[in-house]
Amino acid sequence: MTEPVPRREPEADPQTEAAPESGSELDSEVAALRERWVGEAFDLSTFDIDGEKMVAWATAAGETDPRFIDPTHDDFQAHPNFTTHCLSGRVLPEDFPQIGGPRGIDGGKAVEIHQPIRAGDRLRASTTIADVYTKTGRSGTMIFIVQRMSFVNQRDEAVATVDWRMIRSP
């Protein structure tokens, strides 16, 4: 019979312990950025939606639903994450202050679909800063900047909203 392995308490993570306290200089800087920039529109873009590109995107994503890969289907529409390839001309506002490192990494995307995007649609996208915040984890404190693109079609109907998260280290 084997002896049970004694249970060990997890060790403290020194990076987490060294995280900035509430009210720190970084927290103040992030709060000021949030106050100044959240909701500020800084780029407008237009995208003409092509059926062949819709099929290519859906196929590359491994989609098999005919609504997304068959242009002759009665309900042919863009794949739900199609708008993530529509990039604005700027990632951040021209005069957005440098915070954290000079480069950021992609922290993921969130897509909200309001109604189907169809071949032939002309989309207009307004880009804003949706949020700026810090988060502390095993790698320490990171700065998150959320860029939001809100898409409307040629009838001014909301079709999609995409949030991109950029992560920077302080």
Answer yes or no: is pLDDT of 75 > 70.
yes
In this prediction the pTM is: 0.79
Tokens of 151: 């898409």
Answer yes or no: is pLDDT of 87 > 50.
yes
Instruction: Determine the distance from the C-alpha atom of residue 161 to the mean position of all C-alpha atoms in its chain, rounded to a whole number.
Output: 10
CATH class belonging to 38-49+89-168: alpha beta
| C-beta of residue 156 within 8 angstroms of C-beta of residue 141 | no
Rounded alpha-carbon distances, angstroms, from residue 13 to 6, 8, 19, 40, 65 = 21, 15, 10, 37, 46
The pLDDT tens digits of the residues spanning 13-72 come to: 433 344 444 448 888 899 999 999 999 899 999 999 999 999 999 999 999 999 999 999
pLDDT band at 140 (very low <50, low <70, confident <90, very high): confident
- What lies within 8 Å, CB to CB, of 68 at 6+ separation is 54, 55, 58, 76, 77, 78, 79
Residue 1: is it exposed, middle or buried by C-beta count within 10 angstroms (0-12/13-18/19+)? exposed
pLDDT band at 97 (very low <50, low <70, confident <90, very high): confident
Mean residue pLDDT of the chain comes to 86
Q: Could you tell me which residue, 5 or 90, shows the higher pLDDT?
A: 90
The pLDDT value recorded for residue 16 is 37
Sign of the dihedral through C-alpha 140, 112, 148, 63: positive
Question: What are the structural domain ranges in the chain?
Answer: 38-49+89-168
Answer yes or no: is pLDDT of 120 > 80.
yes
Instruction: Determine the distance from the C-alpha atom of residue 55 to the mean position of all C-alpha atoms in its chain, rounded to a whole number.
Output: 23
